[in-house]
């Protein structure tokens, strides 16, 4: 059989493997891996928190501490500025959970919990509620509604600009969720297709003693490795972008315009 025809016949199976298949009861495979990620995040953070020493002795603990400092200094102090300390736990939780989720998805056979829209909707909702809550806390209810539009506008323009700003405020909710979902889902689909292609071409090369297919396996495999490297970068970058945007939204909501 022609390897290309076989590849296009196999792609629906690959797509079906991304469906939220039930593992047991109402728990789908994504939720199953989300629970695993919770446990990993909790264990890592609790163990490291217990064993924190002033002089670094353990490389692993030092790495996690560096990650926390990265969130605290780059995202907390750098973006929110004054009064950033009370937001650091929230940001660090988001960052570590999304980071662990994305990296668990890179292990072959595992699914990223962030590769389903329901989990990312939940994360985006948490972030949305959080920054609106702190905005209302900082400005008061009516003050927060007024502060959506930047001050210093001509009176006639205020309702129009206010409406557009409200639209972009609600759009933040959508984009936070869809950005993470789209990146993780599409990235894993690409990885799946390259892995499928290299295995299909290798099988065709062995079964039909077809040298061309056998040699074509090599570029597919090299591309797969390259995409893996790219996905590792994306997995970190998306966790970073989600957290940075959350902290930017918090700083926009709490700062006085």
Partner 1 sequence: MEITMVLAALKVVGYGLGAIGPGIGIGIACYGCCVGTARQPELQGRLFTNFILGAALAEALALIGFVLAFIM
Residues near partner 1 (CB under 8 A) are 74, 78-79, 168, 171-172, 174-175, 178-179, 182, 241, 244-245, 248
Q: Which is nearer to partner 1, 185 or 201 (CB)?
A: 185
Token pair recorded at residue 112: 């990223």
Question: Is-contact 33 112, C-beta < 8 A?
Answer: yes
How many Å apart are CA 138 and CA 202, to the nearest integer?
61
Which C-beta is closer to partner 1: that of 48 or that of 119? 119
Centroid of chain to Cα 228: 16
Q: Indicate the DSSP class of residue 150.
A: P
Sign of the CA dihedral running 119, 125, 128, 134: negative
CA angle 238, 126, 113 (to 5 degrees): 50
Q: How far is the CB of 169 from partner 1 (least distance, A)?
A: 12
Nearer to partner 1, 4 or 241 (CB): 241
Q: How far is the CB of 176 from partner 1 (least distance, A)?
A: 9
For the chain, the residue count is 257
Helix/strand/coil (H/E/C) assignment for every residue in 25-92: CCEEHHHHHHHHHHHHHHHHHHHHHHCCCCCCCCHHHHHHHHHHHHHHHHHHHHHHCCCCHHHHHHHH
> Smaller CB distance to partner 1: residue 74 or 210?
74
Backbone angles phi, psi at 110, to 5 degrees: -95, 160
- Using a 10 angstrom Cβ sphere, with 0-12 exposed, 13-18 middle and 19 or more buried, the burial of residue 57 is exposed
Minimum distance from CB of 174 to partner 1 (Å)? 7
In the complex, what is the shortest distance from the CB of residue 29 to partner 1, in angstroms, rounded to a whole number? 20
Closer residue to partner 1, CB minimum distance, 37 or 184: 184
Least separation in angstroms between residue 78's CB and partner 1 is 5
Least distance (Å) from partner 1 to the CB of residue 179? Answer: 6
Complex with partner 1: residue 24 or 167, whichever CB lies closer? 167
């Amino acid at each position: 059989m022609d390897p290309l025809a076989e590849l296009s016949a196999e792609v629906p199976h690959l797509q079906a493997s991304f469906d939220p298949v039930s593992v047991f009861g109402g728990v789908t495979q994504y939720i199953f891996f989300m629970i695993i990620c919770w446990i990993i995040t909790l264990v890592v953070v609790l163990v490291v928190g217990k064993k924190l020493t002033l002089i670094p002795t353990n490389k692993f603990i030092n790495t996690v501490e560096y990650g926390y400092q990265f969130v605290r200094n780059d995202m907390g102090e750098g973006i929110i500025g004054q009064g950033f300390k009370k937001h650091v736990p929230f940001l660090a939780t988001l960052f570590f959970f999304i980071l662990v989720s994305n990296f668990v998805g890179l292990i072959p056979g595992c699914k990223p919990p962030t590769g389903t829209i329901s989990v990312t909707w939940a994360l985006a909702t948490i972030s949305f509620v959080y920054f609106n809550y702190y905005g209302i806390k900082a400005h008061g209810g009516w003050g927060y509604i007024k502060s959506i539009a930047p001050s210093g506008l001509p009176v006639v323009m205020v309702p129009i600009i206010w409406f557009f700003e409200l639209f972009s405020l609600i759009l933040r909710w959508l984009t936070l969720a869809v950005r993470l979902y789209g990146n993780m889902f599409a990235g894993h689909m690409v990885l799946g297709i390259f892995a499928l292609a290299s295995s299909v071409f290798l099988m065709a090369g062995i079964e039909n003693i077809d040298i061309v297919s056998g040699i074509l396996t090599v570029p597919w495999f090299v591309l797969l490795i390259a995409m893996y490297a790219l996905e590792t970068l994306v997995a970190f970058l998306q966790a970073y972008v989600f957290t940075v945007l959350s902290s930017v939204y918090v700083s926009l909501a709490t700062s006085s315009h």
